[in-house]
Amino acid sequence: MGSLFRRSLLLRRSLSPPSRHEDSNVQETEDEELKTAFDNWKSKTYSLTVPLRIVSLQGLIPQSWIKDFMRLQGRRLKLHTNFYGSLEGIFSQLSIPFTKPKGKSTSVVAADLVSVGDS
């Protein structure tokens, strides 16, 4: 129905010059359609199909966030978390792959998310 409405508006627009009022109505209708489509897209949930690695300082990411994320993703989620007590531990792990030729996939550099502080 939306495409039929849009076609009729385009046909009407091509047959007569648009008035300021008609042009604003068309713009508002298009904005509403885009907002509705975006809201529908946002409401869909997608399963994470790859392993996710998080490296963070201890206590920086609330455990409730991790539990909620795991609950929403389901059993297929492969979440690996590493919590360090100080920034020194994270930075020393970040420098290891640059001093060794082959970095492990478990290194901090290979993590999907590295969090070292908040604002």
Q: Answer whether 77's CB lies under 8 Å from 70's CB.
A: yes
Output the pLDDT for position 119: 39
Output the pLDDT for position 73: 82
**37: domain range?**
2-43
The domain tally of the chain equals: 2
Domain co-membership, 111 together with 72: yes
* pLDDT of 9 higher than 60: no
Domain co-membership, 21 together with 56: no
Domain co-membership, 56 together with 110: yes
- The band of 117, judged by pLDDT with boundaries at 50, 70 and 90, is confident
Q: Give the contacts of 52 (CB within 8 A, at least 6 positions apart).
A: 77, 78, 79, 80, 112, 113
* pLDDT of 59 higher than 70: yes
Q: Tell me the whole-structure pTM to 2 decimals.
A: 0.52
The percent of residues in the chain predicted with pLDDT above 70, rounded, is 66
* pLDDT of 118 higher than 60: yes
Domain co-membership, 30 together with 73: no
Domain co-membership, 38 together with 60: no
Once rounded to an integer, what is the mean pLDDT over residues 91-113? 72
Q: Give alpha helix (H) positions in the chain.
A: 2-15, 20-43, 63-73, 87-99
Domain co-membership, 62 together with 14: no
Output the pLDDT for position 41: 79
Domain co-membership, 38 together with 56: no
